[in-house]
Chain A
Amino acid sequence: MTETTALPSFAVWKFASCDGCQLTLLNCEDELLALAGKIHIAYFPEATRAVAEGPYDVSLVEGSVTTPEDAERIQRVRAVSRRLVTIGACATSGGIQALRNFAAVEEFRSLVYANPTYVATLERSTPISAHVTVDFELRGCPIDAGQLVEVIAAYLHGRRPRVPSYSVCVECKRRGTVCVDVAHGIPCLGPVTQAGCGAICPAHARGCYGCFGPQDSTNTGSLAHRLRLLGMSEQDMVRVFRTYNAAAEPFRRESTRLEEVSTP
């Protein structure tokens, strides 16, 4: 990459989401300043109204696909993006809104909206990777600012992002946090959850909520056995596996299994 070539262009796209991950990007003020002369942010509705036509070198995509329109729009985003990186639990696993995947959407719709006829929505909330090829998935609800900067740096310099896929336990041990499960009997999803947040919750004497989704060698059945020993009911376990990454496959499979076990 030399000064004479055009700056790499970035675009940020929003699908069904709370905007929290885009805000994480906005909060990287210092890092973004360093980048000001290095990249061209061509499309970023949360930060600027300026819109440049594609194609873009890197697209960051936030949010899941929940409507027929979005299912089409993501195809167009893919078509104008050299690299497509999804950011956050919604974009990588379907998000909290994927709870609809476990129930009948019709029932929600008639409960929530007075006149549901004009609400076009899909039966399921799906991750971007269910629709188009994704170059990299950055996990988290919300994403971690440091990891986001790493992903941007990686694509700027032509390398693979260094984002570990091991468990949250590694981060607890590295920061010297005493295991809340073993020493206090607090139910914790840390052993099955991917690192990235820096193990924030256990550092404050709470169990991990699984915001970063399943780690790469997940054994949810063994963890469910553990949670039962710590006194959780099957229904409670269904709930802890069904949060921000409810539709991530290992969590979905485990919560479905637990639901079948708990329902006579």
Chain B
Amino acid sequence: MTRTDLEYSPAAAGDEAMLPSPYRITQRREDTADTVTLAMEPLSGEQPSFVAGSFMMVEAFGVGEVPISISGDPTRPGPLEHTIRDVGAVTHALVDSEPGTVLGVRGPYGNGWNVADGVGGDLVVVAGGIGLAPLRPALLEAFSRRGDFDRVVLLYGARRSEDVLYADQLVAWRERFDIDVQITVDYRTPDWDGRVGLVTGLVPRAGFDPNRTLALVCGPEVMMRLVATSLIDRGVPASRVRLSMERNMHCGVGLCGHCQLRELFLCVDGPVLSYDRLDPLMTVPEL
């Protein structure tokens, strides 16, 4: 895609809510072979503040629009960051976009992890694959007030070593003494001398006090259910286990109906919900 600017003509006052604003990519970082993190700034106006866990609708002009979680630091001003994996036509165009490209952005939408609810206890973050991206703002927020938490644990699972997101950052976090970072991969490759196995397997032995833990989980739905069950087995109350749900977020404002999960509009009631609420809904196929 060439470097372009966008002009907007809303049909009538008020309809701008459904039209993206132009943002320019300021930086593009290749995280893995199919995943990049794009930093972007609005062409005009203030950059919106956001809560860790919320998402935006990001558009490649003429190709389409998709929901993407914000992966940047919520506590510091700076360009918005989105980590995007190439899984379809729109994400392909986004991943291919060079710095300078203008994208359309709406949002932020949805609720957040509410990391503050874990203050005074342990914070356990469990991520699978690209699921680390929406959790990164939560980790950065926790680090910004590290003294408010007791233990902070990150359990992360990727398919292979080359799929590990934010590798440099994980190394840096690992070198801190105040965070327990454990990484596992599903498949061993020659360059990997770390742990092999599912991320679920890390939960039983991780060091945290279940009675005073807030757990944040993001990854494929099956993985999230297994992790939630495992956390609950260890004694974490279901109400203290939070999952970030993925459905067909489309309008982002609770009007189009696409992302419904029974009584929930996941774009406004979620994407983050506690497992006591989700358990009866996630166990029904095709709900």
Q: Do chains A and B touch in the complex (CB under 8 A)?
A: yes
A contact residues vs B (CB 8 Å cutoff): 1-2, 157-160
Give the size range of B's interface with the partner. under 10
Query: Can you list 17 contacts pairing A with B, beta carbon distance less than 8 Å?
Result: A1-B2, A2-B2, A157-B62, A157-B63, A158-B63, A158-B89, A158-B92, A158-B93, A159-B62, A159-B63, A159-B64, A159-B89, A159-B90, A159-B93, A160-B64, A160-B88, A160-B89
- Residues in B neighbouring A1, C-beta threshold 8 A: 2
Chain A CB count within 10 A is highest, among B88, B89, B93, for B89
The CA-CA distance from A201 to B88 in the complex, in Å, is 36
Give chain B interface residues in 71-115, CB to chain A under 8 Å. 88-90, 92-93
The CA-CA distance from A117 to B94 in the complex, in Å, is 58
Chain A's nearest CB lies how many Å from the CB of B20? Answer: 16
Chain B's nearest CB lies how many Å from the CB of A186? Answer: 32
The CA-CA distance from A1 to B62 in the complex, in Å, is 13
- Residues in A neighbouring B90, C-beta threshold 8 A: 159
The CA-CA distance from A157 to B64 in the complex, in Å, is 11
Determine the residue in chain B with the shortest Cβ distance to A160: B89
Q: Apart from A157-B62, A159-B93, what are 15 other A-B pairs with CB-CB below 8 Å? A: A1-B2, A2-B2, A157-B63, A158-B63, A158-B89, A158-B92, A158-B93, A159-B62, A159-B63, A159-B64, A159-B89, A159-B90, A160-B64, A160-B88, A160-B89
Cβ-closest 8 pairs across A and B:
A159-B63, A159-B89, A160-B89, A157-B62, A159-B64, A2-B2, A158-B93, A157-B63
Chain B's nearest CB lies how many Å from the CB of A3? Answer: 9
- Residues in A neighbouring B64, C-beta threshold 8 A: 159-160
Chain A's nearest CB lies how many Å from the CB of B187? Answer: 28
Chain A's nearest CB lies how many Å from the CB of B264? Answer: 25
The CA-CA distance from A1 to B64 in the complex, in Å, is 17
- Residues in B neighbouring A2, C-beta threshold 8 A: 2
- Residues in B neighbouring A160, C-beta threshold 8 A: 64, 88-89
Give chain B interface residues in 116-163, CB to chain A under 8 Å. none
